[in-house]
């Protein structure tokens, strides 16, 4: 079987190519937005700390607003909610450009970028379509999730490059403006594909997906993983700027995403997901297997992230850093694919888009904290010191994922038939017959 066969089967389904194309256009700006904002604000105000704080504020606001947007999408449909939400976010991005351009006070930058929080989770909406189309086929859904993660990485690979080029060669504001135009165009193309849209889900009495069994620890690990990405981005941009090659920052960050993109596509073919499960015990077994696999992937990410730190500490070379990021990025996609598989398994019925958006907002919250921490380390110490933050964040994610995997395994053992002692009938003891009663 050709390595591409599982992907060909995915796109043989009617309508999948059309919604994927529109979603790709809509997702490209997610790799442009924060890089464009950091370059634009740091260039105009001369402070990476301010730039990191502004992007952190916007991402933190998104972590609060995005689940609400996702809940509306589940109830009212993707097209009805995503289009006006995107239009409002576009106003926020345009407002940020105006505030920077005309020298508005610093607080207006925070307010404008926070308004972009209504940007819908286009990746989550695409994954929700695959989950609807491939319901019951765990292997195909694993391939689809791997493809979606590869698309994410492709956007993070091309987005920074495009943003750095536009901000450096055209105008500092060009990255934000072009990104906004692509976002609106892509959402319109994506939502126009109604045939593959998941059915509407009425309001249910089930609790929030964030409180489902296993979800709190999983979301915490996503938060720590997001800090890896946010700190790495700020530290890499500052390091390239220190070396006098600020325009190369996008290319260097793109190599990290390139490694993840390749790894994601291979992961989708080589490891076709956990087996389907119908019974309660079988579902717990599959969940424990996925949790263990997730912990292994996070561990690989934590180990590989020491390479960029060693590169800047030992060589101080931007090309060496680029190579280290390429290798380190290869653990990202497997980690995210396995994590999203756990999210899909643990999210209550009818709340899938909300559950996946909670995972993404966990990442965004982590990116916000990582950006702020990375910016502070760069400002107070040096760009090289900023690379210690991703290592610390990945180690934290590993601890959380390992403890959660043990909890999941313990829950599986507790409910497995082998852990319940079988009833062994006791031999009947001989009881003497009572003596007959004789009249006295």
Q: Render pLDDT for 279-301 as a digit per residue (tens, 0 to 9).
A: 444 455 667 788 888 899 999 99
Please state, in angstroms and rounded to a whole number, the distance separating the CA atoms of residues 375 and 393.
15
Please state, in angstroms and rounded to a whole number, the distance separating the CA atoms of residues 46 and 31.
23
The pLDDT of residue 414 is 65
Chain Cα centroid distance, residue 97: 27
Percentage with pLDDT > 70 across the chain: 86
Chain Cα centroid distance, residue 343: 11
Top-confidence residue, 428 or 85 = 85
Name the band, by pLDDT with cuts 50, 70 and 90, for residue 277: very low
Please state, in angstroms and rounded to a whole number, the distance separating the CA atoms of residues 357 and 197.
17
Q: Which stretches within 46-137 are classed as H helix?
A: 48-76, 78-101, 106-114, 122-133
Q: Are 158 and 22 in contact (CB under 8 A)?
A: no
244 contacts: CB under 8 Å, gap ≥ 6: none
Q: Are 298 and 394 in contact (CB under 8 A)?
A: yes
The pLDDT of residue 203 is 58
Alpha-carbon separation of residue 409 from 201, 214, 253, 402 (angstroms) = 32, 11, 37, 11
Please state, in angstroms and rounded to a whole number, the distance separating the CA atoms of residues 301 and 394.
7
Instruction: Point out the least confidently predicted range of 74-78, 79-83, 384-388, 399-403.
Output: 74-78
CB atoms within 10 A of CB 192: 12
**Widest CA span in the chain:** 122
Sign of CA pseudo-dihedral 344, 115, 162, 386: negative
The pLDDT of residue 75 is 82
pLDDT higher than threshold 60 for residue 51:
yes
The pLDDT of residue 34 is 80
Chain Cα centroid distance, residue 333: 9
* Span 148-181, pLDDT tens digits: 878 877 787 777 778 888 888 888 899 999 999 9
Name the band, by pLDDT with cuts 50, 70 and 90, for residue 431: very low
Rg (CA), the chain: 25
The pLDDT of residue 245 is 76
Name the band, by pLDDT with cuts 50, 70 and 90, for residue 394: very high
Please state, in angstroms and rounded to a whole number, the distance separating the CA atoms of residues 199 and 76.
9
Compute the C-alpha angle 186/334/143, nearest 5°.
Answer: 60
**Residue from 41, 33, 60, 172 nearest 109 by CA:** 41
439 contacts: CB under 8 Å, gap ≥ 6: none
Instruction: Point out the least confidently predicted range of 53-67, 214-228, 357-371, 410-424.
Output: 410-424
pLDDT higher than threshold 90 for residue 317:
no
274 contacts: CB under 8 Å, gap ≥ 6: 138, 142, 286, 289, 290, 293, 341
pLDDT higher than threshold 90 for residue 35:
no
427 contacts: CB under 8 Å, gap ≥ 6: none
The pLDDT of residue 202 is 61
426 contacts: CB under 8 Å, gap ≥ 6: none
Top-confidence residue, 70 or 325 = 325
The pLDDT of residue 358 is 83
Ranked by mean pLDDT, which of 45-49, 169-173, 180-184, 331-335 comes out on top?
180-184
Mean predicted lDDT score pLDDT of the chain: 81
* Span 62-103, pLDDT tens digits: 878 888 888 888 888 888 999 999 999 999 999 999 999 898
The pLDDT of residue 97 is 93
Top-confidence residue, 260 or 306 = 306
* H or E element at residue 389: helix 388-415
**Residue from 227, 197, 218 nearest 347 by CA:** 218
pLDDT higher than threshold 60 for residue 433:
no
Percentage with pLDDT > 90 across the chain: 22
pLDDT higher than threshold 90 for residue 333:
no
The pLDDT of residue 415 is 58
Q: What is the DSSP letter of 169?
A: I
pLDDT higher than threshold 70 for residue 112:
yes
Q: What is the DSSP letter of 417?
A: G
**Residue from 178, 334, 186, 308 nearest 255 by CA:** 308
Q: Are 86 and 120 in contact (CB under 8 A)?
A: yes
């Amino acid at each position: 079987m050709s390595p591409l066969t599982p992907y060909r089967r995915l796109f043989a389904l009617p309508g999948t190519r059309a919604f994927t194309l529109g979603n790709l256009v809509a997702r490209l700006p997610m790799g442009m937005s924060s890089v464009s904002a950091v370059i634009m604000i740091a260039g105009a105000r001369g402070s990476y700390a301010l730039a990191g704080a502004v992007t952190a504020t916007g991402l933190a606001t998104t972590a609060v607003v995005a689940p609400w947007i996702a809940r509306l999408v589940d109830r009212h449909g993707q097209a009805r909610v995503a289009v006006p939400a995107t239009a409002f976010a576009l106003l926020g991005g345009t407002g940020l450009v105006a505030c920077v351009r005309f020298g508005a006070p610093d607080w207006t930058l925070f307010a404008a970028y926070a308004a972009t929080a209504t940007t819908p989770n286009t990746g989550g909406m695409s994954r929700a379509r695959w989950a609807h189309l491939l319901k019951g086929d765990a292997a195909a859904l694993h391939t689809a999730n791997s493809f979606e993660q590869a698309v994410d990485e492709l956007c993070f690979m091309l987005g920074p490059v495009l943003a750095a080029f536009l901000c450096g060669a055209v105008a500092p504001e060009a990255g934000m403006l072009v990104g906004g135009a692509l976002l609106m165009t892509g959402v319109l193309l994506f939502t126009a594909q109604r045939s593959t849209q998941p059915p509407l889900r009425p309001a249910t009495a089930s609790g929030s997906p964030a409180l489902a069994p296993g979800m709190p620890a999983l979301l915490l690990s996503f938060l720590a993983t997001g800090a890896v990405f946010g700190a790495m981005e700020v530290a890499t941009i500052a390091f390239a700027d220190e070396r006098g090659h600020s325009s190369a920052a996008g290319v260097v960050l793109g190599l990290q995403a390139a490694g993840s993109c390749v790894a994601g596509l291979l992961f989708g073919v080589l490891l076709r997901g956990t087996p389907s499960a119908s019974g309660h015990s079988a579902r717990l077994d599959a969940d424990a297997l996925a949790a263990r696999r997730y912990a292994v992937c996070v561990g690989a990410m934590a180990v590989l992230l020491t390479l960029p730190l060693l590169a800047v500490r030992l060589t101080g070379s931007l090309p060496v850093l680029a190579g280290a990021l390429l290798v380190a990025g290869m653990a990202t996609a497997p980690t995210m694919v396995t994590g999203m598989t756990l999210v899909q398994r643990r999210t209550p019925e009818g709340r899938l888009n909300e559950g996946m958006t909670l995972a993404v907002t966990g990442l965004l919250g982590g990116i916000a904290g990582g950006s702020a921490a990375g910016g502070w380390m760069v400002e107070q110490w040096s760009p090289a010191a900023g690379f210690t933050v991703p290592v610390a964040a990945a180690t934290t994610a590993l601890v959380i994922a390992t403890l959660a995997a043990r909890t999941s395994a313990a829950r599986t053992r507790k409910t497995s038939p082998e852990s319940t002692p079988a009833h062994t009938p006791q031999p009947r003891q001989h009881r003497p017959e009572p003596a007959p009663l004789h009249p006295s």
